[in-house]
Amino acid sequence: MQTVSENKCFGGVQGVYTHASTACSCDMTFGLFLPPQAADGPVPVLWYLSGLTCTHENAMTKAGAQGWAAEAGIALVFPDTSPRGDDVADDEAYDLGKGAGFYVNATEAPWAPHFNMWDYVADDLPAVLAANFPLDMSRQAITGHSMGGHGALTLAMGLPGRFRSVSAFAPIANPTGSDWGRVQLAAYIGDDERTWGAHDASKLMAQHGFDGPVLVDQGTDDQFLNLLRPETLSQAMAAKRQDGTFRMQKGYDHSYYFVSTFMPDHIAFHAEALFA
């Protein structure tokens, strides 16, 4: 692991680091905010998974999360959204290829050699974090925005017992029923739709639910509502009687203005679970 930068931030440290990823077979970059409490011992971890076209940097600089995390004593992890490098496959479309890993393990050419973002977030990066930073990996929570909200929800339900809580901002809630999902799932993991359900938050919620609290915020003026399909997730949560809250926020769109507005609520939500 190499340090790219470290800056004092709300009494803690906002760092950026690179490492050789086994899962993605390339160098990966991530951001990590350590609150001031980390100087006294391991602190719990909140993952933030970003959306389409993003890198580790978008939420790190726009979400306004560090101040609230410092107050709560929680570390923030900002992974990248896809593998990077000259030998990594890409596509002209913004919603496939670099910046659009969809948090799955690709099985199809040309994506399979590098696009293993599920394993990267589930196994590879956690090992790097545990080996190098004062983090309490027994206390983890996860959140994300858009494609990252999809990733947060599917990882939380797909890895029972890993995360104490999960939240999402405007997640891609039903990718098997949306052009933000069907195209990418077919490209990455093949045309057999029976394999897609493991990466659909609405289907996972209907089948299994989550063994902890859930918080979802969605803007009513989101320009991508028809692609996100939030109604499928809210209906699945209600039918499952999931311990959770689904909020439609009047007048908000899909931007980081929306994310930063409700970030304090999400940090407080996760803090309650992480320190229970």
Residue partners of 61: CB distance under 8 A and separation at least 6:
none
Residue 146 is a catalytic residue = yes
Q: What is the DSSP string of 92-138?
A: SSTTSBTTB-TT-B--STTTTTT-BHHHIIIIIHHHHHHHHS-EEEE
**Closest by Cα among 14, 101, 16, 121 to 64:** 14
Three-class DSSP category at 259: helix
Alpha carbons 71 and 6: distance in angstroms, whole number:
19
**Would you call 254 a catalytic residue per the annotation?**
yes
C-beta atoms surrounding 36 within 10 Å? 16
CA distance 63 to 47: 13
Query: Could you say which of 50, 82, 146, 178 is catalytic?
Result: 146
Tokens of 194: 């029976």
The span from the CA of 268 to the CA of 165, in Å, is 11
Verify whether residue 208 is a known catalytic residue: no
Strands (E), the chain: 2-9, 12-21, 26-34, 43-49, 75-79, 135-144, 166-169, 214-219, 244-249
**Which of 124, 86, 119, 126 is closest to 101 using CA atoms?**
119
The catalytic residue among 95, 222, 234, 270 is 222
- Catalytic site positions: 146, 222, 254
